[in-house]
Structure 1
Amino acid sequence: MKFSLPLVALSTISFTFAVPTASSNAIVQRDLPLVQSNQLRRLLLRSELLKKAKILEDFAYSTPERNRLIGTPGHNATVNWIKDTIAQFPDYYTYYLESFDLSLGVSANLTNNGTPMEAFAVGLSPAGHVSGPLVYVPNLGCESADFSAVTAGSIILVGRGNCQSAVKDALGSTAGAIGMLVYNNVEGNLDGYSLQKINTPEGTYVPAGGISMADGEALVARVQAGETVIADLATEMSVSTTYNVIAETIGGDHENVIHMSGHSDSVAAGPGINDNGSGTISLLEVAIQLTNFSVNNAVRFSWWSGEEEGLLGATYYVSQQPQSELDKIRLMLDFDMMASPNYVYQIYDGDGSAFGESGPPGSGEAEHEFERYFAQDAGVNFTSIEFDGRSDYGPFLAAGVATGGIACGAEAIKTVEEAAMFGGQAGVAYDVCYHSACDNSSNLDVGAWIQMTKAIAHMTATFARSFDLLSPRNETMKAKRMTKSKQVISDKAIGALWGV
């Protein structure tokens, strides 16, 4: 199937919802039964999930890029498809596209002492042509002290990991560098990689290129051996507008919102049908079937852009919301990778009992309700996953919003204990196609996917009915949770988020 969908923003883009009147609420709710978990779950079908997976795959494969990376026709088609699907329910949802501009890498040409080396332009950095001696930056370049050897007019050589590459670039620029080469911390190239922050307080950015771990380590060895290596780097960038899709029920209490989200983009390597087409589709299917019911609390669905470049869409959204709007979100739940082929059922450790770091008040209660659902209603095993800030709940966590979510696992290796609990293969990644070309519609465990989608539906229905499971709002506790959550993000979660 061939798709040609131009990305056209709505004529009016608003950053807050117009809250419906009591009379319009009544019209929307009339003749619809109040949502119940079991009734909503019954409407979810594997066939619908798979049909939508093929749609996303076709969006990718009908383009030269064969992916759904932000700024490409494949992702633009994804955004329009989500928006057009929600638009079929004008009496049930309000919606908008939230736009923001990004500088994306087009190409990079790199030589070292005249010898060409494969490189990729790093998104969010400026275009330019720079030439200078390579200076190796130790300790992954996350502190200004790491740049003591940098000289004016040099190009820094630094490893990926521990902090955003934006911080490394800005600190190098402040120290006098005119360019940056960042090398991977795992096998594979850095096609589609970005600085991961639109701007930083550490300084302005210089042109940046991404190279492989092997090439980077070879250059490090040459520089540390005393060789003068002159790097010549030319990068080309393009400014692209990308979009979050935000939808909210017209019915329900808009002062008390349950916010369900996932990211809509893929990496450059492939179509991203598990990561995160699966979460995109699960949310969309729950949103479609929710229209058969009324709600007491408003339900907001968000599909974020730019997650793979550093949670950019979710970060932008949070930055645009006044605190009064964030306070209306009683609980934010995020869903990334719902159908991993060597799956586990992971629940974020909201109460900190497994990994020691809890989320804001309400996060623990969300975890407990997921646990209760899996154990009692679904009758399946589950395990915990750390609140490491690695997906789109991170900016909400930092803003003090109660958060939670579930996942089926990414590139980590399944343990013997997990294989006994969930089946599958010990010693093999949860998703062997993670961030690669084979993450297509055949890279899905549909049984796990429907189970996770039903868990999403359960949480949607539960909190659309009532927030009685959560602690009452408390201003003093809110201030404390924001301080603690921001500290967690800065001291711990940033390392996991940006370094992998």
Structure 2
Amino acid sequence: MKYSIAIGALAATASATAGMKKHIRQYGYPTTKPVVNATLLKADITIENLLAGSKQLEDFAYASEERNRLIGSPGHNDTIYWIKDTLESLDGYYNVSLQEFFTVAQLSGQINSFLVGGAVPPNGSFLLFDYSPSGNVTAPLAVVSNLGCNATDYPAGVSGNIALISRGSCDFGLKSALAGAAGAVGAVIYNNAAGPPLQGTLGAPPRPEGDYVPSISISQNLGAGYVAAIGNGTNVTATIDVTTDIRNISTYNVIATTNSGDQLNKLALGAHTDSVAAGPGINDDGSGTVGILEVAKALSKYTITNAVTFGFWAAEEEGLLGSTYYVENLPAAEAAKIRAYLNFDMIASPNYINAIYDGDGSSFNLSGPAGSAEIETFFEDYFTGAGANFTATAFDGRSDYGPFLDVGIPSGGLFTGAEELKTEEEALLFGGTAGVALDQCYHAACDNVTNLNVEAFELHAKAIADSVATYALSWDGFPARNTTTAKRSVVKPRRTVQNTHRRKSKRAPLAKK
């Protein structure tokens, strides 16, 4: 028996040596690192390290008066340089760079006064839209027809008044700009669903329809009451007094590509590094940031066949600006080298679901380029192997995969949920509480380390490791890139659209354990 073991060990050594020689010939430098495999890479991902990284991001946010990681803030700048320094410390495994771009950012904003009929509406029933301009106006409310998505929806009576507009169908910024173009001095947009007002953004200016006007978000209950009163002939006057600090700033994507591996057949993956102004953004998207960073650190222990690019995108919360800048400035020849892109935006939601982007379009009739279906199947198989249920989420371009879809790059990824309420079916599949938001701290001050679901965090981070190990080793069974694919039209980014994330079971899920 000992002799057999010795022979086996000798054979294994010879095989490893041959593999190392092949690696030296192909990539030009020696290494004694083992070849990556999914089992090893997943084992390197621990909840202790994930939480330590998350705590570091929280510390960056809380070290400043703003207590957030909004682009341009100290918390975000510290995040960027921490990621860069971490990746550069990995013995030259990655080529790391900062990609600078310029944008408009709202650094702060507050409602000084909001009155309707001379009274302050109930606490929690109104909010300020991000990128609302400063202003102090008092005027009657004027009801806008339909959903305020077309210039013809704004009657002549809107001029000189404050437009009262329903949420729905188009982005908030279009409604505010069209109100301004019609002569309105302000805009009040009411929710089209029960509950609190929507925390939203107008999107960074400028936009072709015109300038924004001071804009407030209110609850459906308030809006319906004002519409009814005005319909009965009551003159309802409102005061909007808001102050915002909006500036031109520079910020950075962090791009890290392995120095080894086939650079003509790269895997790319990413997460966004910024939060909203309201809080530190530790689930949105500190969880994705830390998840891919931990995988990048672990990957540096191994040899790979295919190159891997990790993208840490800035200004996602301002409208996918960082990932869009990267893709739009990527030469066509370089884009053609990316076989697939994987996105991880919110992977530790407290009332979580295991959602996979619907790459084949079978659930939502919106598919990605060839290869996207295979990515969806890969993650379905991962959750099945982990004994976990899964569901589909709409592949509508509302996160940083959108720009990649737009140029025909196969894409996919995971998502554990944002502001939408958990359904009864989802509670049966994933546990948690039906009728409660998947992340009650979405875009709020409480999105800190205590907001993370550690079970979901570890499960999804290991899914990242599984996918990276698989595609860094081989593209077998994955379709070749079609670089002649026509440009795909994608939906507006997540923070500016009106609809919530859509998701449903793609196929009969596993029985709940």
Class of the TM-score when normalised by the shorter of the 2 chains = 0.7 to 0.9
Identify the range of structure 1 (95-104 vs 216-225) with the bigger mean alpha-carbon deviation. Answer: 216-225
Mapped to 1, the partners of 2:161 and 2:331 lie a distance apart of 41
1:272 is aligned to 2:275: no
Deviation at 1:154, TM superposition (A): 4.1
Give, as a single letter, the amino acid of the residue that structure 1 aligns with 2:449.
Answer: S
Residue 328 of structure 2: aligned partner: 319
Compared CA separation, residues 343 and 132, structure 1 to 2 (3 A) = closer
Mapped to 2, the partners of 1:190 and 1:416 lie a distance apart of 23
Deviation at 1:181, TM superposition (A): 3.5
Work out which of the residue numbers 211, 225, 232 in structure 2 matches 1:205: 211
Q: What SS is found at the alignment partner of 1:98?
A: strand
Residue 328 of structure 1: aligned partner: 337
1:139-178 equivalences in 2 (<5 Å): 139-149=146-156, 151-178=158-185
Q: CA offsets, 1:91-120, max 9 Å, x none? A: 122221433221415344455579475876
Q: Contact (CA 8 Å) 1:162, 1:494: kept in 2 or not?
A: no
Larger Rg: 2
Work out which of the residue numbers 136, 139, 143 in structure 2 matches 1:136: 143
Q: What SS is found at the alignment partner of 1:374?
A: helix
Q: CA offsets, 1:164-208, max 9 Å, x none? A: 2222233333334454343455644666x421254434x222333
Q: What SS is found at the alignment partner of 1:447?
A: helix
Q: Contact (CA 8 Å) 1:263, 1:303: kept in 2 or not?
A: yes
Deviation at 1:457, TM superposition (A): 0.8
Deviation at 1:243, TM superposition (A): 2.8
Work out which of the residue numbers 395, 398, 408 in structure 1 matches 2:403: 395
Q: Contact (CA 8 Å) 2:138, 2:237: kept in 1 or not?
A: no
Residue 85 of structure 1: aligned partner: 86
Mapped to 2, the partners of 1:68 and 1:53 lie a distance apart of 12
Compared CA separation, residues 458 and 58, structure 1 to 2 (3 A) = same
Residue 252 of structure 1: aligned partner: 261
Mapped to 1, the partners of 2:198 and 2:170 lie a distance apart of 16
Residue 38 of structure 2: aligned partner: 37
Mapped to 2, the partners of 1:322 and 1:121 lie a distance apart of 39
Identify the range of structure 1 (243-252 vs 148-157) with the bigger mean alpha-carbon deviation. Answer: 148-157
Q: CA offsets, 1:336-358, max 9 Å, x none? A: 22122232221111111222221
Residue 49 of structure 1: aligned partner: 50
Q: Contact (CA 8 Å) 1:103, 1:123: kept in 2 or not?
A: no
1:95-114 equivalences in 2 (<5 Å): 95-104=97-106, 105-110=108-113
Mapped to 2, the partners of 1:297 and 1:458 lie a distance apart of 15
Q: CA offsets, 1:404-431, max 9 Å, x none? A: 1112222333344433433334444333
Residue 307 of structure 1: aligned partner: 316
Deviation at 1:150, TM superposition (A): 5.6
Give, as a single letter, the amino acid of the residue that structure 1 aligns with 2:447.
Answer: D
Compared CA separation, residues 465 and 171, structure 1 to 2 (3 A) = same
Mapped to 2, the partners of 1:497 and 1:337 lie a distance apart of 18
Q: Contact (CA 8 Å) 1:25, 1:251: kept in 2 or not?
A: no
Compared CA separation, residues 225 and 137, structure 1 to 2 (3 A) = same
Mapped to 2, the partners of 1:78 and 1:183 lie a distance apart of 35
Structure 2: stretches of 5+ with no match in the other structure: 1-22, 501-513
Q: CA offsets, 1:278-304, max 9 Å, x none? A: 111101100111111223322111222
1:182 is aligned to 2:189: yes
Q: What SS is found at the alignment partner of 1:236?
A: strand
Mapped to 2, the partners of 1:149 and 1:24 lie a distance apart of 74
Q: Contact (CA 8 Å) 2:363, 2:392: kept in 1 or not?
A: yes
Residue 427 of structure 2: aligned partner: 419
Mapped to 1, the partners of 2:46 and 2:120 lie a distance apart of 49
Compared CA separation, residues 287 and 354, structure 1 to 2 (3 A) = same
Give, as a single letter, the amino acid of the residue that structure 2 aligns with 1:99.
Answer: F
Q: Contact (CA 8 Å) 1:163, 1:494: kept in 2 or not?
A: no
Compared CA separation, residues 411 and 154, structure 1 to 2 (3 A) = closer
Deviation at 1:468, TM superposition (A): 2.7
RMSD: 3.2
TM-score computed with the length of structure 2 as normaliser: 0.80
Q: What SS is found at the alignment partner of 1:275?
A: coil
Residue 454 of structure 2: aligned partner: 446
Compared CA separation, residues 379 and 108, structure 1 to 2 (3 A) = closer
Deviation at 1:88, TM superposition (A): 1.5
Compared CA separation, residues 143 and 195, structure 1 to 2 (3 A) = same
Q: What SS is found at the alignment partner of 1:371?
A: helix
Q: Contact (CA 8 Å) 2:268, 2:308: kept in 1 or not?
A: yes
Q: What SS is found at the alignment partner of 1:338?
A: coil
TM-score computed with the length of structure 1 as normaliser: 0.82
Mapped to 1, the partners of 2:202 and 2:87 lie a distance apart of 32
Q: Percent identity?
A: 45
Compared CA separation, residues 112 and 225, structure 1 to 2 (3 A) = farther
Q: What SS is found at the alignment partner of 2:450?
A: coil
Work out which of the residue numbers 237, 244, 269 in structure 2 matches 1:236: 244
Work out which of the residue numbers 400, 410, 415 in structure 2 matches 1:407: 415
Q: What SS is found at the alignment partner of 2:76?
A: helix
Q: Contact (CA 8 Å) 2:357, 2:393: kept in 1 or not?
A: yes
Q: Contact (CA 8 Å) 1:134, 1:228: kept in 2 or not?
A: yes
Identify the range of structure 1 (248-257 vs 451-460) with the bigger mean alpha-carbon deviation. Answer: 248-257
Give, as a single letter, the amino acid of the residue that structure 1 aligns with 2:49.
Answer: E
Q: CA offsets, 1:258-312, max 9 Å, x none? A: 1111122223333222222111110110011111122332211122223333333
Deviation at 1:320, TM superposition (A): 3.3
1:1-20 equivalences in 2 (<5 Å): none
Residue 303 of structure 2: aligned partner: 294
Mapped to 2, the partners of 1:498 and 1:310 lie a distance apart of 14
Q: Contact (CA 8 Å) 1:333, 1:393: kept in 2 or not?
A: yes
Q: CA offsets, 1:430-480, max 9 Å, x none? A: 33333333322222222221111111011112112222332123345x12x
